[in-house]
Amino acid sequence: MNKNHLVAIMAGGIGSRFWPMSRQNFPKQFLDILGTGKTLIQDTYARFAGFIPNENIFVVTTTEYKDIVKKQLPHLAEENILCEPSRKNTAPCIAYISYKLFQKYPKGNLICAPADHLITDTIGFTKICLEALNFINKHNALITLGIKPTYPNTGYGYIQHEQQPVSDNIYKVKTFTEKPNTELANTFISSGDFLWNAGIFVWQVQNIIKAFEKYLPEMAEIFSAEKNLFNTDKETEAVERIYPQCTNISIDFGIMEKADNVYIIPSSFGWSDLGTWNSAYENMPKDYFDNAVSGNHVIVFDSNKNMIHADKNKLVVLQGLEDYIVVDTKDALLICKKDKEQDIKEYVAEVKRNKGEKYL
């Protein structure tokens, strides 16, 4: 294993589209969404531990989730858990880990990845990551991993690349497009040069810092002013001063869509961002009637194509449902048509208006 290969697992999100299972105090990255016996962050950590030294794996989360991370990742050193005082999107998160790591690893090569994605082909994923690490070690490049689309999904961002590779399976990026409508998504699929944006990045630490200095100079100045306090007992105080000054902005919008040294690797390693209950349904085993069931005591009659998640100790009996999401927890029950899952955020907002924070 290369001592200059580093990983930052981003684990600060709330995961509101997985309500009522995902809650503000215990969001989806810490849950066993698919009923596999492992949480999403545990799977992510294990995936990287196969080819990255354990001491070089870092988790960036919020202060409120630090103890959960410690409990779920007992082999991770406490100093490798970075705590953001507030959620400011991915750009400040990546700036924090980058400026911190640069002090110890000036020649570090960094992979930044979300904690809550599903990847079923670990060997294929490792191969792609090592290809990316090898490329950025020789070039001033910001690499993003693109997923070869299998259907015109309107919930993902798309990245267009040049037709000719600059190296084996590595292409220069042309354009970024946010979630398209169905017609545009079909056009992207037909063209053959668009990929889903997986939100997984690979770069040299020094080069992403240069990109911050060029494209987000105010943010770079804020972090640079405090950088000498990182990796000291003053780090927490420094971060608490930094974050209120940071713009809430994604790394895609702040840097990747503007930079001229962005490259992409077309990838197929069984990826899903597990952003919705439907995506969980697609990635779970089904019974004879195409029901995806997570729960030890679920009995189904005359029902098909449902996503069912129940407490492992609770008996749940369903009859006569088709294409529904049913999520039963100790204090909340969601029954929702699968084609209405994008409205779950609205339902959660209505719960907050009527019932306060208790069920969030």
Mean pLDDT, to the nearest integer, of 193-210?
95
Check residue 74 and give its pLDDT: 96
Average predicted confidence (pLDDT) for the chain: 94
150-154, 209-213, 266-270: segment of lowest average pLDDT: 150-154
Cis before 20 (ω within 30): yes
The last residue of one of the domains, among 272, 305, 331, is 272
Read off the pLDDT band of 36 (50, 70, 90).
confident
Check residue 253 and give its pLDDT: 94
Check residue 70 and give its pLDDT: 97
Is residue 219 domain-shared with residue 305, that is, in the same domain? Answer: no
What span, in angstroms and rounded, lies between the C-alpha atoms of 314 and 329? 9
Residues 6 or more apart whose CB falls under 8 angstroms from that of 310 comprise 294, 295, 297, 298, 316, 326, 327, 328
Q: Give 27-35 contacts, CB < 8 A, sequence gap 24+.
A: 27/65, 28/116, 28/274, 29/114, 29/115, 29/116, 30/65, 30/68, 30/72, 33/274, 33/280, 33/294, 34/118, 34/274, 34/280, 34/283, 34/284, 34/294, 35/284, 35/294, 35/295, 35/309
- Residue 110 CB neighbours (<10 A): 27
> Residues, the chain, total?
360
Is residue 360 domain-resident?
no
What span, in angstroms and rounded, lies between the C-alpha atoms of 30 and 199? 19
Residue 188 contacts residue 177 (beta carbons within 8 Å)? yes
H or E element in which residue 223 lies: helix 217-226
Identify which of 129, 115, 183, 185 has the alpha carbon closest to the alpha carbon of residue 156. Answer: 185
Is residue 37 domain-shared with residue 71, that is, in the same domain? Answer: yes
pLDDT at 1 > cutoff 80: no
Under DSSP, the state recorded for 30 is: G
Q: At what angle do helices 90-104 and 217-226 cross, to 10 degrees?
A: 40
pLDDT at 210 > cutoff 80: yes
Which 3 state secondary structure label does DSSP give 202? strand
Is residue 144 domain-shared with residue 224, that is, in the same domain? Answer: yes
Check residue 181 and give its pLDDT: 83
Is residue 181 domain-shared with residue 291, that is, in the same domain? Answer: no
Read off the pLDDT band of 57 (50, 70, 90).
very high
Is residue 282 domain-shared with residue 249, that is, in the same domain? Answer: no
Mean pLDDT, to the nearest integer, of 267-295?
92
The last residue of one of the domains, among 229, 250, 272, is 272
Check residue 13 and give its pLDDT: 86
Q: Domain holding 116: CATH number?
A: 3.90.550.10
Is residue 74 domain-shared with residue 196, that is, in the same domain? Answer: yes
Is residue 350 domain-shared with residue 259, that is, in the same domain? Answer: no
29-38, 84-93, 122-131: segment of lowest average pLDDT: 29-38
pLDDT at 296 > cutoff 80: yes
Is residue 330 domain-shared with residue 266, that is, in the same domain? Answer: no
Which 3 state secondary structure label does DSSP give 6? strand
Q: Which domain holds residue 322?
A: 277-355
What span, in angstroms and rounded, lies between the C-alpha atoms of 247 and 254? 10
Distance of CA 229 to CAs 85, 86, 100, Å? 16, 19, 9
The last residue of one of the domains, among 232, 256, 272, is 272
Number of domains in the chain: 2
What span, in angstroms and rounded, lies between the C-alpha atoms of 112 and 207? 14
